[in-house]
Amino acid sequence: MNDVELRDEVNKRFTLNWLIQGAAQHAGMTFHHLVRDELDALDSDLVRLYDQNALINLLQYWSFDAALLFGWPPRFWRRSTTDPLHPFFGHPVLSHHGGRLASAARRRGLERCNEKGFWPLRYFFPFQTLNVIGRLRSKEAGHDRALFNWPRKP
């Protein structure tokens, strides 16, 4: 296998991983709506809190502390077109459109914040995250059996 064939195989794997991760991200943001009625019967705040948690999972890449640790996402995607060591360098889709796709996902996430009652303040993101997680733990407390058994229903 020559270098071009190897690069094509790697890019094919990147594309498949990207599609799978995108589908998983979407499922993770919406799966709780499949049991909305059951969640509402336990506590009417659960669906909204799960929506907020899904937004946290999406927007965490642009949070202040994540940017400090891992770098700013737009810079990551800009490097994909110029840095031969970048994992997506030369990828026919991701090197040219990955940044725009990530930016669109962020914009959509920020729009959804208003719909879901989540305040997208950048520097307060870790505190909001802890608040949502704490409230979820409190609301879920005592409902372990019901929450665990719903996915097993035929």
CB 136 within 8 A of CB 49: yes
In the chain, how many domains are there? 1
Residue from 6, 126, 113 nearest 69 by CA: 126
pLDDT of residue 141: 93
The answer to the question of residue 49 being in a domain is: yes
Query: pLDDT by residue (tens digit) across 82-95?
Result: 999 998 898 888 89
Has this prediction a pTM greater than 0.75? yes
Range of the domain at 50: 3-149
DSSP state of 90: T
**Is there a domain that residue 84 lies in?**
yes
pLDDT, average across residues 134-153: 84
**154 in a domain, yes or no?**
no
- Tell me, what's the pLDDT at 94? 87
